[in-house]
Amino acid sequence: MSPDAVAWWSRAGSRLGSATGCRWLGAVGALAVTVGGYAAGTLPAREPWGVWTARGSAPALAGALLAYLGLTLLGVAWWRYGVLVARGVRDATERVLSTLLWWTAPLVLAPPLYSADVYSYIAQGAMVLEGYDVYGAGPSVLGPGDLGADAAASVGGNWTDTPAPYGPVFLVLAQAVVMLTGGEIVPAVLGMRLIALGALALVVWAVRGMGGGGGALWLAALNPLLLIHVVGGMHNDGLMIGLMLGGVLLARRGRWVLGCVLVGLAMMIKSPAAVALLFVGVMIARRDGGVRGVAKGLVLPGLVAGAVAVGATLAVGTGFGWLRTQSVAGAIHTALSLTSDVGLGLGLLFADDPGPVKGVVQKLGLLAAAAIILVLARRAWKGRIDPVLGLGLSLVALVALSPMVQPWYLLWGTVVVAAVAWRTRAGQLLAVLSAALVYETAPSGRTPWFGFVAAGVVLALGLVWARREPWARPDEGIAPSGTAPRTAHADRAARPS
């Protein structure tokens, strides 16, 4: 190769590795995911508009390959952008939001990607309008003449007869989307995407309000795991996270009643947000001090959030059936659930019926998660760890030990950790896990074997990298609320040269 050619490739690589180059590369990747999704996404079973229709096996294969290529480009751009942010490159740190717009825009008009859950949301909203009990039946009860019938026909097999595990606040949002769109599947999906974009905006607001700069937004909002599953897949986890973190932010600012109201609303999207009440209570106990502060922290957040839950349930009119459907998801086996895998394995080895053994192991996992959460809450109360970081780590532990785990569940804790401690080793590990888990699910929503292989390869490479280039010492980023954790970059800058 001639010297001129070498110089040209060097300049091209330098431009591509810049913040501007990452913006373009990530946008091209997101566009490729979207275009590929039109042939290989989670397309509806019936779609009268002819926009998101299956086009045969060959286009589906080509679309899947294009989507995987785009996802890889997006992941590479994200990782390189994170390196630039970590180095303090101004064009990267100061333009994270514009980069987010670049990467999000191509996904806005995409078909549902990586999951069919949005069809369940639409069908459940239609069930409320049609007078069905969403906590007593699944979307299969919708007949051909009912609103949301096309969405119901597109629901994944595991969820067709499954009652809704979501709270009434989310159901009323889904109901509003169906009402405004007449249940037409394409407008209804796009309506749910508007809610997902609102959730993304909430996440950005809460992370910035916590004092999180470019690095925090990089891990929380630019994260490809969030982009493809919250924006592309429209999972309501994004709305739960945004409301929950917003509530914690308000509590941290001393407005704990309004903060608990937001957490209560988040609980009425998905119940894991309730973990935040414990750490809001820790903030109250530390602020007021003494026995009175502890009593206030233990009781009042639960009372406020409980009042919100009761009020929302009565106002929406769907009943309190959500209390009994919280465990329905655990009946479906997912390969990412460690306790389900171990329980099933032990059951197959030592019992004729593996079900009871699996159930016991799942319950032990939840007990272990509860113990870890209590330990973290106590450390936060003692001032040994930031309560917000304690909440994030608690949610990670809850996901790791839950009976059902989906890739996007990792976002529950990742976004919270990112807000206050993205540069810690915990943040670095969560970044590696995020980069790996984007491959676990195909654009069609299926979980092929090669997705696990790709995720394993990325995880192994990421862990090697994290070992060689750790972002921070183990004790960094655990300062109690109100203090700024030191970062590895700041530590190096403080040392004499």
What share of the chain in percent tops pLDDT 70?
Answer: 91
194: pLDDT strictly greater than 60: yes
Distance of alpha carbon 46 from alpha carbon 190, whole angstroms: 16
> Does residue 110 belong to any structural domain of this protein?
yes
> Does residue 10 belong to any structural domain of this protein?
no
6: pLDDT strictly greater than 60: no
What confidence score (pLDDT) does residue 479 get?
A: 46
pTM across the whole model: 0.91
Distance of alpha carbon 172 from alpha carbon 148, whole angstroms: 15
215: pLDDT strictly greater than 70: yes
Distance of alpha carbon 123 from alpha carbon 140, whole angstroms: 9
| pLDDT tens string 278-292 | 999 999 999 888 888
| pLDDT tens string 93-151 | 999 999 999 999 999 999 999 999 999 999 999 999 999 999 999 999 998 888 999 99
- 74 pLDDT band (50/70/90 cuts)? very high
Angle of helix 411-421 relative to helix 387-400, nearest 10 degrees? 160
Q: What is the DSSP string of 376-426?
A: HHHHHHTTSS-HHHHHHHHHHHHHHTSSS--GGGGHHHHHHHHHHHTTSHH
- Around 318, how many Cα atoms within 13 Å sit in the side-chain half-sphere? 35
| pLDDT tens string 25-41 | 999 999 999 999 999 99
> Does residue 11 belong to any structural domain of this protein?
no
> Does residue 478 belong to any structural domain of this protein?
yes
Look-up of token digits 């590479």 = 76
Number of domains in the chain: 1
Domain with 310 in it? 21-490
Distance of alpha carbon 313 from alpha carbon 308, whole angstroms: 8
> Does residue 93 belong to any structural domain of this protein?
yes
> Does residue 497 belong to any structural domain of this protein?
no
> Does residue 136 belong to any structural domain of this protein?
yes
> Does residue 184 belong to any structural domain of this protein?
yes
